[in-house]
Chain A
Amino acid sequence: MFVVIRDLLRHNGDFLAGIVLTGFVVAMALLSFVSPYHPLDQFVAPLDVPPSAGHWFGTTSRGQDLFWLLAYSIRNTLAFGILVAIISRVLSLSIGLLAGYRGGWTDRILMSINDTFIVIPLFPILVLFYFVMRDNMSWVLLAVLTAFLGWSYDARLIRSVALSLRNREFTQTAVFAGMNTREILAREHLPFVLPIVFSTTLNNMNWSIGLEVTLAVLGFTDINRPSVGGLIYWANQHSAVVAGIWWWIAFPVGLVVMLFIGLYLLAVSMNEYIDPRSRLDRMGGQGR
Chain B
Amino acid sequence: MTQALLELATVSKTFSRGGFLSRERVEAVVDVSFRLDGDRAEIFSIIGESGSGKSTIARMILALQAPTAGHVRFRGRDLAELRAEDERTAFMAAVQPVFQNPFEAFNPLKRMDRYLFMTCRRFTGLHDEAEIHAAADAALQQVGLTLAEIRGRYPHELSGGQLQRVAIARALASNPSLLVADEPVSMVDASLRASIVALFRKLCDELGLSIVYITHDLATAYSISDRIIIMQKGRMVESGDARTVLADPKHPYSRKLKESVLEPLAPGETPMFAR
Question: Chain A: which residue is nearest B108 at the CB level?
Answer: A170
Q: Does B121 contact A (CB under 8 A)?
A: yes
CB distance A191 to B99 under 8 Å? no
Q: Does B141 contact A (CB under 8 A)?
A: no
Q: Does B197 contact A (CB under 8 A)?
A: no
Q: Does A188 contact B (CB under 8 A)?
A: yes
A187-B119 Cα distance, complex, nearest whole Å: 15
CB distance B109 to A173 under 8 Å? no
Q: Which of B89, B99, B109, B174 contacts A169 (CB 8 A)?
A: B99
A–B pairs, 12, beta carbons within 8 Å: A169-B101, A170-B108, A173-B106, A173-B107, A173-B167, A174-B107, A175-B92, A176-B62, A176-B92, A176-B119, A176-B171, A177-B119
Q: Does B30 contact A (CB under 8 A)?
A: no
Footprint of B on A, CB under 8 Å? 168-170, 172-179, 187-188, 191-192
Q: Does B123 contact A (CB under 8 A)?
A: yes
Contacting A at CB under 8 A, from B122-173, are 122-123, 167, 170-171
Footprint of A on B, CB under 8 Å? 62, 64, 89, 92, 96-97, 99-101, 104-110, 115, 118-119, 121-123, 167, 170-171, 174
Q: Which of A175, A176, A178, A191 contacts B109 (CB 8 A)?
A: A191
Measured between beta carbons, the chain A residues less than 8 angstroms from B122 are: 177-179
Assuming the A-B contacts A169-B101, A173-B167, are A178 and B107 also in contact, with contact meaning beta carbons closer than 8 angstroms in the complex?
no
In the assembled complex, how far is the CB of residue A228 from the closest CB belonging to chain B, in whole angstroms? 39
Assuming the A-B contacts A176-B92, A178-B89, are A170 and B105 also in contact, with contact meaning beta carbons closer than 8 angstroms in the complex?
yes
A192-B64 Cα distance, complex, nearest whole Å: 24
CB distance A188 to B107 under 8 Å? yes
Max chain B Cβ within 10 angstroms of own Cβ: one of A168, A169, A177? A177
**Apart from A173-B105, A191-B109, 14 more pairs, CB < 8 Å:** A169-B99, A169-B104, A170-B107, A172-B97, A172-B99, A173-B106, A174-B107, A176-B97, A176-B119, A177-B119, A178-B119, A178-B122, A179-B122, A191-B107
Question: Chain A: which residue is nearest B92 at the CB level?
Answer: A176
CB distance A169 to B105 under 8 Å? yes
Question: Chain B: which residue is nearest A188 at the CB level?
Answer: B107
Measured between beta carbons, the chain B residues less than 8 angstroms from A178 are: 89, 92, 118-119, 121-123, 174
A188-B92 Cα distance, complex, nearest whole Å: 19
In the assembled complex, how far is the CB of residue A185 from the closest CB belonging to chain B, in whole angstroms? 13
CB distance B115 to A177 under 8 Å? yes
In the assembled complex, how far is the CB of residue B214 from the closest CB belonging to chain A, in whole angstroms? 14
CB distance B118 to A177 under 8 Å? yes
Q: Which of B106, B119, B123, B171 contacts A170 (CB 8 A)?
A: B106
In the assembled complex, how far is the CB of residue B118 from the closest CB belonging to chain A, in whole angstroms? 4
A245-B28 Cα distance, complex, nearest whole Å: 77
In the assembled complex, how far is the CB of residue B111 from the closest CB belonging to chain A, in whole angstroms? 12
In the assembled complex, how far is the CB of residue A92 from the closest CB belonging to chain B, in whole angstroms? 20
Measured between beta carbons, the chain B residues less than 8 angstroms from A176 are: 62, 92, 96-97, 119, 171
Q: Which of B96, B110, B123 contacts A188 (CB 8 A)?
A: B110
Measured between beta carbons, the chain A residues less than 8 angstroms from B101 are: 169
Question: Chain A: which residue is nearest B102 at the CB level?
Answer: A169
Measured between beta carbons, the chain B residues less than 8 angstroms from A173 are: 99, 105-107, 115, 167, 170
